[in-house]
Amino acid sequence: MTEFLNVAAPAMIILGALLTASNLGAKITGTGFIAFTIGSLLWLAIGLISGPSSLVWQNIVLALLNAFGIWRWLGRQRQFEKGGEGAAAASERDSGENLFPASQFATAGVNGVDGSSLGHAVDAMIGCRSGRVAYVVVAEGGVGGVGETLRRLDWRDASGDGQALEASLDARAFSQLPRLERDHWPSR
């Protein structure tokens, strides 16, 4: 039993860290906190079997904090995402302009005019008074943020379709857009 716990506990913590650090939305992040909770409970069992009270108390506290993370991401945040998704879907059936959840500007896929994937949105710059989107920052290429290229996609060349952003550019035209530095974006 102890051998199983000594393998399973760190494996669950590593899985939880991977899922949480990936920041792929409320469901994935919340699942990471489930893995963290299971890992904490397994470490708690190791502490109860082997005796170090510091390991026991540490993992009681961590299990409680991870339960908060589950509520935060699978309860509260996931409900917000569902609310935005539902409003966007309903807007497609209603007359008037379709809606796009602002929270998706940090994660939405960006497709070219031909349907090809150009990258994914990482942020958007929005006018403080007008509420209009000026441009979207799109990351292309790379793995886990390493080796990616950031580009400015003017909103006049883009639109939202409820699930993703659609660019009016093909892949070649998109690759000609100016590169952005990670920490220095244009004011206009």
For residue 43, the model assigns a pLDDT of 95
The per-residue pLDDT for range 112-137, each reduced to its tens digit, is 999 899 999 999 999 999 989 999 99
Please give the mean pLDDT across all residues of the chain.
90
The per-residue pLDDT for range 23-62, each reduced to its tens digit, is 888 889 999 999 999 999 999 999 999 878 999 999 999 9
Give the confidence band of 2 by pLDDT, cuts at 50, 70, 90. confident
State the CATH class of domain 102-180. mainly beta
Residues forming beta bridges with residue 175, ordered by sequence position: none
Q: What is the pTM of this model?
A: 0.72
